[in-house]
Amino acid sequence: MRVRVVWWELDGSQATIAQLPEYLRDESVDAFAQVEGLRLKLWIADEERNRWGAVYLWESEEAAGQPLPSRARQIIGKDADFEEWFDLEASVEGAFAQPELARRGAAFAPA
């Protein structure tokens, strides 16, 4: 399995962390739910440093190489400032109360 971490420094971009959850709710989450070989995608934000990005977990190198249904570069107005690939060394799911992981996070919190 492969892990990809990507983020954008939003300073100088017209996009803001406050605006990007709308894109996630209305478009991106549903589109990525259909991507073959994508085991997990986490969208992340760091308001203090004005950064926004994602962590991907892929079943294989081949799956990770496919075109993705993302308009993040278009919305933010530039390529990501950071992108790294890693091999997955181990994974685990801990004990949890809510069995469904999909559609969690600030983008889906009640207004």
How many folded domains does the chain comprise?
1
Q: What is the pTM (predicted TM-score) of this model?
A: 0.89
Is residue 106 situated within a structural domain? no
Give 105's pLDDT tier (boundaries 50, 70, 90).
confident
Element (H, E) at 20: helix 20-23
Burial of 40 by CB count in 10 Å (0-12 exposed, 13-18 middle, 19+ buried)? middle
> pLDDT tens-digit profile of 20-68?
999 999 999 999 999 999 999 999 999 999 999 999 999 999 999 999 9
Q: Residue 35 domain-assigned? A: yes
Question: For residue 102, is it within any domain?
Answer: no
Query: Which tokens sit at 18?
Result: 């406050």
Question: Residue 34: which CATH number?
Answer: 3.30.70.100
The reply to whether 97 falls in a domain is: no
For residue 93, being part of any structural domain is answered with: no
Residue 40 falls inside a structural domain: yes
Q: Which residues lie below 8 Å from residue 75, measured CB to CB, with a gap of 6+?
A: 15, 20, 23
Containing structural domain, residue 24: 2-88
Angle 77-78-82 from CA coordinates, rounded to 5°: 140
Q: Which is more confident, 102 or 86?
A: 86
